[in-house]
Amino acid sequence: MKEFVQNLVEKYDFQSVRLLPLLRDIQTQYHFIPQDAIEHLADLLHIERTQIISVIEFYSFFHLQARGQYDILISDSITDHMLGKPALMAYFCEKLGIEIGEVRADGLVSIDNTSCSGMCDQGPAGLVNGYVLTNLNRPRIDAIVELVNQQVPVNEWPAVFFSTTDNIYKRNILLEST
């Protein structure tokens, strides 16, 4: 692990301002951010270990505990609730055989809530390994569970699962392209 972290920090030129991409890369490798990686980052970046932990705990997408190979986060926004998220989350958990916040015993999958996926206009929505899932419904959940159980890599899943719609109909000063 030390060599992996060392190579990453070198890639980002030992810049502590690059902490977020460093943490993202570590989590991609290990499915969470191990304590040893935090210690090594702190030494290499000359920042306090507690500062790194604070950043990890602030962002719901970073984890200090092991997550499943397929890490599913479902948006818990009010809009997603209005679109049926609670029942769909219960269904998802039932189909996966785990509870919210758990990692399945085989380590294959974990599921949890996240405050927002940024896609509430196309909800219920969520993320799998950081990739957006929109318009969740029972048939789509059945297909996702099947893909997870067959251990199909996320990049081989049907593109329709990750499709989004540009719902911005009127651009204004905040949305002008530059």
Q: What residues contact residue 12 under an 8 Å CB cut-off, 6+ apart?
A: 18, 21, 22
Contact (CB, 8 A) for 8 and 43: no
Region 29-54: what's the mean pLDDT? Answer: 94
Checking phi first, is residue 106 left (phi over 0); if not, alpha (psi -120 to 50) or beta? alpha
The CATH class that applies to domain 70-162 reads alpha beta
- Cα–Cα nearest to 103, from 128, 145, 73, 68: 68
Q: Which helix (H) or strand (E) holds 112?
A: strand 109-114
Q: pLDDT, tens digit, for every residue of 79-129?
A: 887 888 899 999 999 999 999 999 999 999 999 988 766 666 666 888 898
- Say if 2-58 and 70-162 have the same CATH topology: no
Give the pLDDT mean for 140-144: 96
**Extents of the domains making up the chain:** 2-58, 70-162
**CATH of region 2-58:** 1.10.10
Point out the least confidently predicted range of 30-39, 68-77, 169-178: 169-178
Select from 158, 163, 66, 151 the least CA-distant residue to 112.
Answer: 66
Whether the Cβ atoms of residue 146 and residue 172 lie closer than 8 Å to each other = no
pLDDT at 173 over 70: no
The answer to whether the pTM exceeds 0.85 is no
Where does the pLDDT of residue 1 fall: very low under 50, low under 70, confident under 90, or very high at 90 and above? Answer: confident
